[in-house]
């Protein structure tokens, strides 16, 4: 399966233009927007232990936030929710 497009979140930034980087990706921005809700939703679940391969609450939260970001990018590639 091919990865959805992941452009820069803020491509018009002067610093990005000057140093040739494009800064934060859209995936990073989506994850940063989701992290608060992920923590609120999953904090209680973490008290019951972690899924296999997860060693800390931080790893659990970050993984879920990026999973949401990936889902948003995939939906964006389809043209958004109907």
pLDDT single digits (tens) 9-39:
766 666 666 666 666 788 999 999 999 999 9
pTM of the model: 0.71
Decide if 18 is inside a domain.
no
Decide if 33 is inside a domain.
yes
- What is the CA 42 to chain-centroid distance, rounded? 16
> What percent of the chain clears pLDDT 70, i.e. is strictly above it?
73
Decide if 6 is inside a domain.
no
- Highest mean pLDDT range out of 25-39, 43-57, 67-81? 25-39
Decide if 10 is inside a domain.
no
pLDDT of 42 > 80? The answer is yes
Decide if 59 is inside a domain.
yes
pLDDT of 68 > 90? The answer is yes
Residue 8: name the closest of 19, 24, 21, 28 by CA: 24
Decide if 68 is inside a domain.
yes
Instruction: Specify the number of domains making up the chain.
Output: 1
Between CA 26 and CA 9 the distance in angstroms is 4
- Please tell me the predicted confidence (pLDDT) of residue 80: 61
The whole domain housing 66 covers 25-76
């Amino acid at each position: 399966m091919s990865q959805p497009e992941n452009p820069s979140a803020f491509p018009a930034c002067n610093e990005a233009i000057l140093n040739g980087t494009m800064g934060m990706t859209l995936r990073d921005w989506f994850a940063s927007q989701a992290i608060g809700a992920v923590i609120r939703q999953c904090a209680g679940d973490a008290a019951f232990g972690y899924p296999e391969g997860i060693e800390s609450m931080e790893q659990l939260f970050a993984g879920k936030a990026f999973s949401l970001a990936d889902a948003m990018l995939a939906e964006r590639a389809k043209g958004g929710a109907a």
